[in-house]
Structure 1
Amino acid sequence: MNKLENYSAPKDLLKDRVVLITGAGQGLGRAAALTYANYGATVILHGRKVKKLESVYDEIETIGKAQALIYPLDLEQAEEADFAVIAQAIEQQLGRLDGILHNAAFLHGLSPLENQSVEQWRAMLQVNLITPFALTKACLPLLKASPDASVVMTSSSHGHKPSAYWGGFTVAKAGVEALVKVQADEWESMPNLRINTIIPGIVNSPQRAKTHPGEIKQTMRQPEDLMTTYLYLMGPDSKGVSGQTVPCYTEY
């Protein structure tokens, strides 16, 4: 299921749907928020920095789409009760939830395992693995109530094929792929629920700039170039597809 080159999403693909996006303030999360809103969704913008979320909110307002909601939270410090509060707020304010894009990510930096600390690992596991599990669990009653709900996790080529120096980030992202397979199996008897993993690959993003600062951004794929896959997996056309790892590039 590479690239989905022949897929063309109808403009009302996400009409009347509510989608929560973590890490929505920049990069792929921002692109997904704008795309989902443009295709009819009411989006809930999660991030750590309110100013960035407000900027995305304003962009959605400018294009005349459904008013977004902003929910700031520092995932590194979040506890189970914080995720429950998010779910409660969504139910009270919108009454439904039809999708989650887990896009927030944290990479401390590239270094040998012997140089990585327990504190760094704890932060990377918390943001990249524990949060997707805990937030999905907290929102599960809302997702179950939806006639067609999709959860999309973001992994990494280094999580799919672990390699040196990526340490706790690689382990967390490998865990995401395992988590998706476990959850898909448990949801097998519930056809209104599905969960899949996206591997973005090399793309111009803040995380890529952190690990590869010398690259020329203009020659790279941009977040918007990947949105066909993000739309397909979030929208109803992917119904029946679950437990899959979908790359946004040909080989990995």
Structure 2
Amino acid sequence: MSEKPLAGRVAVVTGASRGIGYATALALAEAGAHVVATARTQGGLEELDDAIKAVGGQATLAPFPIDDFDAIDRLGGALYQRFGKLDALVANAGQLGPLTPLGHVEPKDWDKIVAVNLTANWRLIRSLDPLLRASDAGRAVFLTSGVVHKDRAYWGPYAVTKAGVEALARSYAAETRTNTPVKVTLVNPGPLRTKMRASAMPSEDPATLRTPAELAPKIVGLCLPSFTETGKLYDFPTDALQSFRAPE
């Protein structure tokens, strides 16, 4: 039997208690990675831990809300002390936020979605970049959304923050493109059968949608040492890898 492709490697997955994060964390563990799973929901993380153990994998649970920025800094320190490196980051945690006209968005709701969807991803880079560089094949994957490129009314806060994530990933890819082992990829999952999707589209039949478990192996592929592209967007609906670099 061949060795699992991520054996001996460490992967952080945020928002791992359900949906895309849960499915990806489980798939990474099945591929041999030691998964460090973060989420605000302790119970969901414990269910994930049970599922990972059932497939013979290993996990470390880190329950905290993704906008607890001090906790993100502590995570980086703890990973350095325990592992001295990080081989993969899957920055999945996010929230839908208010679906309302921009002029009606409450300032506290705006601040919250910016903190969760955008600032937290910058704080993850700030804390974990040295560990990704310490790996021989550091991989960073950020979840985005097709709504960034659509003129969709009432989705402003979500679209704005995901556009920010895309700019953040582009910048990080440019900074790590040469003389580092880090490869950066954006993922557009498209419509999936998740709780967030159900909240956004309550009249939609979830049975018509693909599942996070179908996407998860694709994300695992982006975390492998053998995946050497950087500065790309993987579009799950079309199964296509696209460049997101602007023309020179």
Tell me if TM exceeds 0.5. Answer: yes
Q: Which amino acid aligns with 2:6?
A: L
Q: Which amino acid aligns with 1:70?
A: L
Q: Structure 1 residues 130 and 62 mapped into 2: Cα distance closer, same or farther (>3 Å)? A: same
Q: Structure 1 residues 198 and 11 mapped into 2: Cα distance closer, same or farther (>3 Å)? A: farther
Cα distance between partner residues in 2 of 1:135 and 1:172: 15
Number of the residue aligned with 1:52: 44
Cα distance between partner residues in 1 of 2:54 and 2:75: 26
Residue pair 1:19, 1:97 contacting (<8 A) in 2 also: yes
Number of the residue aligned with 1:35: 27
Q: Which amino acid aligns with 1:157?
A: G
TM-score normalised to the size of structure 2? 0.91
Q: Secondary structure at the match of 1:175?
A: helix
Residue pair 1:181, 1:243 contacting (<8 A) in 2 also: yes
Cα distance between partner residues in 2 of 1:163 and 1:215: 17
Number of the residue aligned with 2:208: 219
Question: Could you say what the CA RMSD is over the residues aligned between the two structures, in angstroms?
Answer: 1.7
Q: Secondary structure at the match of 2:178?
A: coil
1:242 aligns with 2:233: no
Could you list the per-position Cα deviations for residues 24-51 of structure 1 after superposition, in whole angstroms to 9, with x for gaps in the alignment? Answer: 0000000001100001100001000101
Number of the residue aligned with 1:119: 108
Q: Secondary structure at the match of 1:238?
A: coil
Matched pairs, number: 239
Cα distance between partner residues in 1 of 2:22 and 2:3: 19
| One of 189, 210, 213 as aligned partner of 1:200 | 189
Matching of residues 76-225 of structure 1 within 5 Å: 76=67, 78-79=68-69, 81-225=70-214
| One of 51, 59, 75 as aligned partner of 2:66 | 75
Number of the residue aligned with 1:3: none
Residue pair 2:40, 2:63 contacting (<8 A) in 1 also: yes
Deviation at 1:251, TM superposition (A): 9.2
Cα distance between partner residues in 1 of 2:56 and 2:217: 21
Q: Structure 1 residues 160 and 231 mapped into 2: Cα distance closer, same or farther (>3 Å)? A: farther
Could you list the per-position Cα deviations for residues 169-195 of structure 1 after superposition, in whole angstroms to 9, with x for gaps in the alignment? Answer: 110100111111111111122341111
Deviation at 1:93, TM superposition (A): 2.8
Q: Which has the higher relative contact order, 1 or 2, with Cα contacts under 8 A spaced 6 or more apart?
A: 1
Could you list the per-position Cα deviations for residues 62-103 of structure 1 after superposition, in whole angstroms to 9, with x for gaps in the alignment? Answer: 1112x2000011123x23x33210111112233321110000
Runs of 4+ in 1 over 3 A off after TM superposition: none
Q: Secondary structure at the match of 2:219?
A: helix
